[in-house]
Each structure stands twice: as C-alpha cells, then as structure tokens.
Amino acid sequence: MVVPILSNDAARKLFLARHGLLDRPRAQDLTRLLDGLGFVQVDSVLTLARAHDMILWSRHPGYRPPDLQALVQERRAFEHWTHDAAVIPVEFWPHWRHRFDRDRQRLDRRWEAWHGPDFRAQLDRTLRHITDNGPVRSGDLADGPRREPGWWNWHPSKVALEYLWRVGELSVARRDAFQKVYDLTERVIPEAARAHRPDLAATIDWAACAALDRLGFATPGEIAAFWDLLTPAEAQAWAKGALERREVEEIRVEGADGSLRRVLARPRALEQAAALTNPGDRLRILSPFDPALRDRARAERLFGFRYRIEIFVPAAKRTYGYYVFPLLEGTRLVGRADLDSRGGALTLRALWPEAGVRWGKERTRRLMAELERVARFSDVARIDLRDGWLRQAP
C-alpha cells in the first residue's frame, strides 16, 4: 500500500493552522482560543511579557494579561500540569483525575522519604487550615526555615500545598502577584466538572484524539507527550486500535531537510492541508514557549529551526542570549531576537537571522511594525534599537 506524503510546505501550514498562527491575529473569544490550543503554558520569566500572555496576544491582539486570570477566577479554566504548569479549559478537568491518582502514587513513594516523617501530618494540618480559613498562598502558612537555599528546598507548608494541588485535593483559585492562591477543589472546580468521572479508557481516547486534532499529525510518542496524561504504551495501544477502526491513517511527513517520517493523521488531513491558503509575510515575535515551539525536536524537524532556552547557561557560554524570541514570517522561522521591555522602552539588543535568510529593508520594515505592536502590548512608550543589533548567525 502506498503511504501518502504530506509535503513540508503543506505540513507547516497544517501545523500552524492548528496552532492559530496561519491566519492574521484577530479579535476572538478567549475561551474558544484556549480550547483550540488545548492549554497555555504558564511561565514566571518576565522580560518582555510572560509566556502565557505572549502566546495569547500573538493570536488575539485585543488580549491583555488580566484576561487569563479572569477565566480562572470565573471558573472557566483551571491551572494544573501538562508537560509543565498550564491553564486548561475547565471542561477538560475530569480527565485529570487519572493524573491525580498517578501523581499520588508516584509522589507518595518519593516525598515522604524526601521530606521526613512529619510529611503526612503537615498535609492534614494544611487541609484543616484551608477548610476553616479559606484560600492561602504558601507564604501565609510559612512555619519553618528551608533546609538550604534553592527552588526545591521549600518550607513544609509549601511542600504540603504543592502535593495537595498535584493530587487534586486543592486547586489554584487565582494568582496574586504571580503567586498561586490555593483552595479546596470543591470550592474552585464547578460541580458539573467534578461530577463527571470518565474511566481510564475514555480518558485515553479523549486525550489521544484531542492531541492529534491539535497537532494535525503526530507519532504515538508525540500524542502521549502533548497533555502528558498518557503513558507511551497507552498511546501506542490507542494508535493500533484507531488504525484498525480507520479513525486514523499512516502518512509520511516531509521534514525541512527532505527526510520522510511516518506519523498518524486523520483521514482527510492531506485534503485539509491542501485547502489552506498562504499566510502572507507578516512578521510575528513569538514566545519561546509558544505551543508551536514547545516540542523543540518537532520544530527542528518541521522548520529546520533549532532552539534551546539559555536562561540557565552562564552568560559567557550563551550562543544567543538569556531569553530570545523566535521570529515567524509566514510559515518560516526566520530569526530570533534578544528583547526586553524594562525601563520604559522596548529594547532590541540583537537579532540573528537564520542561516540563508537575507535581512534587508523590507524585513526591517516588517520588524519595526511588529515591535510597535509589541510596545503597545507591553505598555512602553518608545523603541530602542541598540547599535549593531543586526547580527550574523553563529
């Protein structure tokens, strides 16, 4: 049997369309946008804008940072883990029940030995306090010094809050100054979501289908990794059954280097890709954690764009910079920029075009138009271009 081939150009268009980046940014309903993406990663780093805000603004120019927190506080979205901390439509919450159970089994084996014999008693004390007194931040319950400085050397109440959140007994009611505020899940998650108890088979089918529909095409491993709700074995078994039921088919996707890779897709995916129009040449500044770039290996195969975050790399050893922003032009990733919006200005320190990309006057014009849009979003008054900002690819 001949396995259909999805060309690299068509694959890029299909993938970007599923991630809301093929069409021009437009005003849209935020709940619907979040549902289409599946989730938005929450990240604390603030140089230009926080990752979740940048992701949503890139698709919805009317978006402003308070809007996402409003969804959480209105109980239309909840915060938990996918591959990382994320805000997720509340309708999906029932499928996280199995993750809660799995996290409980995994954390129980590790955290009691890690945090000592008082661990269980601290859980009970924390739950009683929140039941009686309402929502808390970790600082509200601080009751002892950390053992040593460091992210994972939390005080006991922080350990308890995070454990109870990970296993579903607590939920994030909101964030204050980016600090999580925890409350009992029954006071945060709507009753309709809590009343739904899908079995494991239903969650596997939902998670696999929902992942494939948002990716456009994927291997079982990529399907498992999308929500991080499934094991690789569960995704493999689902794929086998879906192929037998003809709910999916095998195709080959052409990478940026011309290589072909077998993946799964819906039966009409090639037709849908062929019907997509070219997106034009607008330049977009994307968050490093944009859903289209979250899977670094997939982005490299599809776009020929290798990206590694360098926050934790010593300054002298960085190839680019502390936190650089990928630049999307049409269906190509054409460069990356070192930007921040501190001190009342949007500052472009450096821009590195990708190898083979000529950076002339027209691209600079499109860049300036995007910087002006970003400046308005970041609420800064001016744009500062540092001398020698246009660099050569390393």
Locate all alpha helices (DSSP H) within the chain, ordered by sequence.
Answer: 8-18, 30-37, 51-57, 66-73, 97-115, 119-133, 156-166, 191-195, 200-215, 220-227, 232-244, 269-274, 296-303, 361-378
Query: How many domains is the chain built from?
Result: 2
329 lies in a domain?
A: yes
* 71-75 contacts at long range (C-beta below 8 A, 24 or more positions apart): 71/30, 71/31, 71/34, 72/172, 72/173, 72/174, 72/175, 73/173, 73/174, 75/188, 75/189, 75/190
- Please tell me the distance from the alpha carbon of residue 71 to that of residue 120, in angstroms, as a whole number: 33
Look at residue 309 and tell me if it is in a domain: yes
CA distance 330 to 78: 32
| Gap between the Cα atoms of 322 and 288, Å rounded | 11
Q: What domain range is 323 assigned to?
A: 283-385
Whether residue 375 is contained in a domain is answered as: yes
Neighbouring CB atoms inside 10 A of 5's CB total: 14
Res 142: pLDDT: 64
Question: Of the candidates 204, 206, 221, which has an alpha carbon nearest to the alpha carbon of residue 264?
Answer: 221
CATH number for the domain spanning 120: value is: 1.10.10
Rounded CA gap, 26 and 32, in Å? 13
Does a structural domain hold residue 153? yes
> What is the Cα–Cα distance from 221 to 199, expressed in whole angstroms?
22
Q: Name beta bridge partners: 325.
A: 337
On whether residue 394 sits in a domain, the answer given is: no
**Residue 308 main-chain phi, psi, to 5 deg:** -135, 130
154: left (phi over 0), alpha (psi -120 to 50) or beta: beta
Give CA–CA dist 228/159, Å, rounded. 22
Does residue 228 sit in helix, strand or coil? coil
pTM for the full model?
0.94
Return all residues near 214 (Cβ < 8 A) that are at least 6 apart. 18, 19, 36, 37, 38, 226
List of the chain residues with pLDDT < 70: 112, 115-117, 142-155
The token pair that represents 247 in the structure block: 């709910």
Query: Which H/E stretch holds residue 252?
Result: strand 249-254
Structural domain includes residue 359: yes
> Could you tell me if residue 168 is inside a domain?
yes
Using CA atoms, how far residue 28 sits from 14, 36, 51, 73, in Å, is: 20, 12, 19, 20
Query: At 365, phi and psi to the nearest 5?
Result: -60, -45
The tokens describing 208, both together, are 């696999």
Radius of gyration of the chain from its Cα atoms, rounded to whole angstroms? 22
Instruction: Give the C-alpha separation, 31 to 78, whole Å.
Output: 12
Could you say which of 173, 189, 205 is where a domain stops? 189
Q: What's phi and psi for 249, nearest 5 deg?
A: -140, 160
- The answer to whether residue 97 sits within a structural domain is yes
Structural contact between residues 210 and 38, judged by C-beta atoms closer than 8 angstroms: yes
Edge-to-edge strands of the sheet including 40-41? Answer: 40-41, 85-89, 77-81
Residue that finishes a domain, picked among 123, 154, 189: 189
Question: What CATH code is carried by the domain that includes residue 341?
Answer: 3.40.630
Domain end (from 158, 189, 220): 189
